[in-house]
Amino acid sequence: MTRFLSNKQVGAIVTAAELGDRLRSDHPEIADLFRKGHSYAMIITRLALQETYRVTQKVAYRAIYFTLHGYTSLPEDSDPVASFPGLLADAEAETLARFHYSLAGKKSGRKAVQHRTGIYAMDQQSLAAAHKRGLETQQREKRGIFGLSADELRKHGAQGATRAKELGAGVVHGATEEQRRV
């Protein structure tokens, strides 16, 4: 299915790409801010990008993305913006993206605990029922450990035991001689 963009959508992409290219020279510190854990929203606010460049929040977000990751122009001659590299190398951008996803997940988790939403809003009975449904789904669809062969399970078990021994942790390696006798 071919999906065509409206003129408004194309205009927003072009504006974001042009701004992303401009921000590379106007604000090269964007890469350092992102490395230090600043989210796109924090960078937009700190540098007052919406007010300074008179763009919407969505365009500012996309411009930050292009600033960091670069922009590849469309193969047709119709793209008014030339390709440009981002401030981050691909490998670093990928590593930082995972780091930022982790930060966002932790923030969302703390918020869920604080406001008692999601699984934190469930009573013990509802939580047990949700766990049971999840376990049944994993077994039925052979996901997680239920999708592993006996050889794969043994291999992963051996790796876990080796790591526990290295760390001095776990039921066997983390216990004192006295605790093992009990």
pLDDT in tens, the chain (182 residues): 456 778 888 888 889 999 999 999 999 999 999 999 899 999 999 999 999 999 999 999 999 999 999 998 876 656 778 889 999 998 898 899 888 888 888 888 889 889 999 888 999 999 999 999 999 999 999 998 888 899 999 999 889 888 888 888 777 666 677 766 66
pLDDT of residue 3: 67
Question: Measuring CA to CA, which residue among 148, 149, 171 is closest to residue 160?
Answer: 171
pLDDT of residue 76: 64
Which two structure tokens, joined as six digits, stand for 115?
């406001």
pTM over 0.75: no
DSSP letter at 84 equals: E
HSE on the CB side for 180, CA within 13 Å? 8
Question: What's the CA gap between 51 and 53, in Å, rounded?
Answer: 6
pLDDT of residue 45: 96
pLDDT of residue 1: 47
Which two structure tokens, joined as six digits, stand for 46?
């700190």
pLDDT of residue 9: 87
Name 120's Cβ contacts closer than 8 Å, sequence gap at least 6: 112, 113
Question: Measuring CA to CA, which residue among 59, 57, 66, 12 is closest to residue 34?
Answer: 66
Write down the residue that tokens 């993206």 correspond to.
97
